[in-house]
Amino acid sequence: MRKTWIGLMMLVFTMVLGACGSRVTPALDCRVEEDRPLRVGMNLIYEPFEMRNLETNEPEGISVDIAHAFGEFIGCDVEIVNVNFANLIDALTLGDIDVIIASMSATPQRAQLIDFSDPYMYYRIIGLVNQDYADANGITEDSSAEDVLAIETTSFVGIAGQVSYSLPLELGIPQSRVRQMTGLESAVARVVQGDDDILMMSGSPVARNHNVNPDTTLILWDPFDISPIAMGIRQGEDEFRDLANAFIASLDEPGGVNDQLRERWDDDIRAILGRYGIDFFLYEE
């Protein structure tokens, strides 16, 4: 039944392309131009999701694998385009890339500028916590997010344009207690040095930076939020979004993409998180 449905969708999709002629949108060009790859935008600095292979310098990571699987699903070659995370939406709307697959949270603010597919992952937004602050306030790695939010002196640091900065404000933290930085390294440094108390981010960067700074930080595992991760798609590309959603619906099939990701990346994720493997990111519950 699923194969029949996808076949019908592909037939309709082909008919749409024929009707569009020269007005076909860039993200669909690979359907009619054999030498035109699907350009997938991501920022290759977020190991192990978006990064470069140290030996070959080629793009590598969980998001890279998903991008190539999506290209195979819709019959397109894939080109990974490295774009600063803060510039990804502009790159998409200007036509420099065709789709965003970059651990991007589908937030209401971003949805005003671009469309999103259904979620293909869920990132628990946990905390990198300064150890001295934790000791002074009785916070452990098993404390609740509510415990931290209830401390009226807690200061937060986040990265411009990312959930790490916007989420504390959405949770009602006064802007005077939320510092904005331009990059991950500088945000982490403020927590490590005790200039700010908490950095809210997804599991991988939090755990990785705790592992580098085990004596000055701890991980607060209880999530402040669970952020749906989706593909970014230009507004109006409804047929392309439908294909993305059909691909996402297939991820959890036996032997499908999620099983392949587990086989390749579960050990790497456990080496970073300690407590959890890749399923920490694949499911909302």
Tens-level pLDDT at each residue, the chain (285 residues): 444 444 444 444 444 333 333 323 444 555 445 568 999 999 999 989 999 999 999 999 999 999 999 999 999 999 999 999 999 999 999 999 999 999 999 999 999 999 999 999 999 999 999 999 999 999 999 999 999 999 999 999 999 988 899 999 999 999 999 999 999 999 999 999 999 999 999 999 999 999 999 999 999 999 999 999 999 999 999 999 999 999 999 999 999 999 999 999 999 999 999 999 999 999 998
Q: Does 77 lie in the same domain as 39? A: yes
CA 285, CA 282: separation in Å to the nearest integer?
9
Q: Does 115 lie in the same domain as 234? A: yes
Q: Does 25 lie in the same domain as 113? A: yes
3-state secondary structure of 51: strand
Look at the chain and report how many structural domains it folds into.
2
Q: Does 88 lie in the same domain as 56? A: yes
CA 102, CA 66: separation in Å to the nearest integer?
10
Domain finish residue from 225, 245, 268: 225
Instruction: Supply the pTM of this predicted model.
Output: 0.80
Q: Which amino acid is at 109?
A: Q
Task: Give yes or no for a contact between 217 and 192, defined as CB atoms under 8 angstroms apart.
Answer: yes
184 Rama sector, left if φ>0, alpha if ψ -120 to 50, beta otherwise: alpha
φ, ψ of residue 107 to 5 degrees: the values are -95, 155
Q: Does 147 lie in the same domain as 102? A: no
